[in-house]
Amino acid sequence: MAELRTRIAGLEMENPTMLASGILGQTGESLFRIVREGGAGAVVTKSIGLEPREGHGSPCLLELDNGILNAMGLPNPGIDSFGEEMAVALKAGAPVIGSIFSDSPSNFAALARKMEGYGAAAVELNLSCPHAEKFGLDTGSDPAKVAEIVSAVKSAVKMPVFAKLSPMVPDITAIALAAEDAGCDAIVAINTMRAMKIDIDIGKPVLRNKVGGLSGRAIKPVGVRAVYEIAGRVKVPVIGAGGVYTGRDAVEYLMAGASAVQIGSAVRERGIGAFGIVSAEIAEFMKENKYKSLNEIIGLARGK
């Protein structure tokens, strides 16, 4: 099997697949299982805030023809309850990346400090949730605010800091560059895109929150484009996310310039084992096409 072990921003991973934030990842045992049974190279927790939060009402998730629409609304038990979950997750042996969200640089910094104390390998800043007021995209669409948050977190912790960005901005590279200039160690692209489903028999939007974030196959071309654009401008690693179901999807992101991929929606179709399956498919693609290392593929489509 081709060598899949990789190192991203100092994180040692058995393979280049990570659990995307928001899928499972709310309990230590689910994170543990995704590493041990699922074969993920790393896991990202659900986005955790300062206070417990119930999230939006139901329906909050819908399967559509080409993806999944969700308006979970950042439910989480709050950072103070999350230490015990992290302790369990860490036993799996893979890097655990703590995803955090907040509405101010100082609170982001406080959350990051706690995540570092819990043993997180890195922190991922959710600057891109498209369906929670004041949080996520509301701050993540402004390069100056993004820079301010990244700087505050960088000065609060020693671990690597990842910024997860939304594609719903005129120029995602401007946001990525602002994050990099502020000291960010890796860019994650993309988060879900604002979308809606109306049931025409009922004549109403189905999601209780009306608007949610679209993930899965439908957004893969957007993600690949975003990674391609960002990877051409920043020096830090880029982690691709959005519609990775197969090894071939992952390779497409790698060729666009991603060093690793995150997987979320595919868990619905391929189960928790999606990470190991995608990794094996990447290895198979490499073998068939005589690639010896991931580095030969990363950025290949850019004509590096």
The residue ranges that bind another protein (CB under 8 A) are 22-27, 29-30, 32-33, 46, 52-55, 57-63, 68, 70, 72, 75-78, 81, 199, 201-202, 204, 206, 208, 264-265, 267-268, 271
Catalytic residue set? 129
Q: Which two tokens stand for residue 253?
A: 């992101």
Q: Is 52 within 8 Å of 104 (Cβ atoms)?
A: no
Q: Is 8 within 8 Å of 18 (Cβ atoms)?
A: no
Q: Which two tokens stand for residue 112?
A: 């990051």
**Beta strand 96-100 with 42-44: parallel, antiparallel or unpaired?**
parallel
- From the CB of 74, what's the least distance to another protein, in Å? 10
- From the CB of 174, what's the least distance to another protein, in Å? 32
| Crossing angle of the two packed helices 28-36 and 83-90, in degrees rounded to 10 | 20
Q: In the complex with another protein, which residue's Cβ is closer, 72 or 244?
A: 72
Q: In the complex with another protein, which residue's Cβ is closer, 46 or 131?
A: 46
Q: In the complex with another protein, which residue's Cβ is closer, 72 or 294?
A: 72
**Furthest-apart CA atoms within the chain: distance in Å:** 54
- From the CB of 32, what's the least distance to another protein, in Å? 7
Measuring CA to CA, how many Å separate 183 from each of 96, 124, 172?
A: 20, 13, 17
- From the CB of 171, what's the least distance to another protein, in Å? 31
- From the CB of 152, what's the least distance to another protein, in Å? 25
Question: Quick one: CA torsion of 148, 150, 151, 155, rounded to 10 degrees?
Answer: 140
Q: In the complex with another protein, which residue's Cβ is closer, 55 or 119?
A: 55
Q: Which two tokens stand for residue 260?
A: 């690793």
CA proximity to 159, closest of 101, 120, 103? 120
**Residues in CB range of 93: below 8 A, 6 or more apart:** 35
Residue that has been written with the tokens 């060598």 in this structure: 3
